[in-house]
Amino acid sequence: MNDKRRISILGATGSIGQSTIDLIARAPESYDVVALTGGRNVAALARDAIALNADVAVVAEDSALPALREALAGSGIEAAAGRAALIEAAQRPADWVMSAIVGAAGLEPGLRALQGGAALALANKESMVCAGPLMMQTARDGQGTLLPVDSEHSAVFQALIGEDLTAVERIVITASGGAFRDWPLEDLEKATPAQAATHPNWDMGQRITIDSASMFNKALELIETKEFFGIDPGMIETVVHPESMIHALVGFNDGALMAHVGMPDMRHAIGFALHYPERRALPVERLDLVTLGQMTFRPACEMRWPALRLAREVMETGGLSGAVFNAAKETALDGFIEGRISFPRMAGVVEEALTRFSATGGLIDAEVTLDNVAHADHLARQHASEIMRDGP
């Protein structure tokens, strides 16, 4: 009998994908790799598909297919390209699937894998922000299992093992504060994408690192917390913790606060999801408390990080507002990266897009289905582009 676990990695060429491959490659005898997918990085995708002997490698970019075919020639590994091929690969039977495509593009592939009955390790927080009720319902219907991979949500998930959710008083999500946490507010207007993409503690992809500096990443995580754990938004707090050693805390009704503490290394949360429900040894550095010496905390100021205020509004509104928030954020982020808008303007664009969308009568309350999310996403991107074009 073949007792290897069938594994797929969506977004294999990215930061989370590579950390996942690092863990899988340490025990190749335990896994059958079904599908690896990438966006456009053919060289890395082909290298890893060959090393892990995957069944299929898929690039999202259609025009990259000839290059992928050439890189895989003689390996016996199937090459495919385009959105439909990506979805088809995500649906191939697998026991465990890593959802690590960046942005709203990761929603449908992850959802399809979940519907196919896989345990879905969810790094793609946008799935929960845009379609939390749909993801949770799919998991509840018994079609698959959802496991959090965002370090904060993995921390909360672990702190809740054996606990009763009704005894939870609050969930505290920590934030490093990103690249500009100590900058004078008036300097933010001149911040460049390169400066924003330098994270003080975590080694991550470009987009999420810039989102850390603006705290749009934390905003997404607050919404994800509400959706994942089904708790009241008023019970979710954020605190700036520059050392990033505590990833989240859960406060209970007896006053106890359970913290998840460890070195900032995503292989912990990925490994926890990979081996769940077991806890197994992982190759992560151990935290030496004496060397660390101290941990500090500061309030998360909504003047500096208006994304946090917007996240509260989205959590209260619910419905499709998460999809609008995320799509407007992704569009504004493109605008910042391409030099069309300033760093602080991103929050303004998202706020205006949310306001415009709310004015389009009833759409925000529509049922959270894949089609409605796609529609809201499309409209929000249009609004955000217009707002950027019209200027402040």
Where on the chain is the footprint of ligand NDP (CB under 6 A)?
Answer: 11-17, 38-41, 60, 86, 100-102, 105-106, 123-126, 150, 202, 204-205, 207-208, 266
Nearest approach, Cβ of residue 316 and ligand NDP (Å): 23
Of 366 and 374, the one with the shorter C-beta distance to ligand NDP is 374
Nearest approach, Cβ of residue 39 and ligand NDP (Å): 3
Nearest approach, Cβ of residue 313 and ligand NDP (Å): 21
CA atoms of 288 and 271, how far apart (whole Å): 21
Of 228 and 352, the one with the shorter C-beta distance to ligand NDP is 228
Place of tokens 């359970």: 258
Q: Is 124 helix (H, G, I), strand (E, B) or coil?
A: coil
Of 37 and 138, the one with the shorter C-beta distance to ligand NDP is 37
Residue nearest ligand NDP, Cβ-based = 14
Of 207 and 383, the one with the shorter C-beta distance to ligand NDP is 207
Nearest approach, Cβ of residue 146 and ligand NDP (Å): 14
Q: Are strands 246-252 and 168-175 parallel, antiparallel or unpaired?
A: antiparallel
**Cα within 13 Å of Cα(9), Cβ side:** 29
C-alpha to C-alpha distances, 265 to 23, 43, 258, nearest whole angstrom: 12, 25, 20
Nearest approach, Cβ of residue 272 and ligand NDP (Å): 13
Nearest approach, Cβ of residue 277 and ligand NDP (Å): 21
Of 204 and 310, the one with the shorter C-beta distance to ligand NDP is 204
C-alpha to C-alpha distances, 105 to 102, 128, 130, 227, nearest whole angstrom: 7, 13, 11, 19
Of 48 and 55, the one with the shorter C-beta distance to ligand NDP is 48
CA atoms of 143 and 31, how far apart (whole Å): 22
Q: Which residues contact 16 (CB under 8 A, 6 or more apart)?
A: 98, 100, 123, 149, 205, 266, 270
C-alpha to C-alpha distances, 211 to 60, 86, 148, 195, 216, nearest whole angstrom: 23, 26, 19, 12, 5
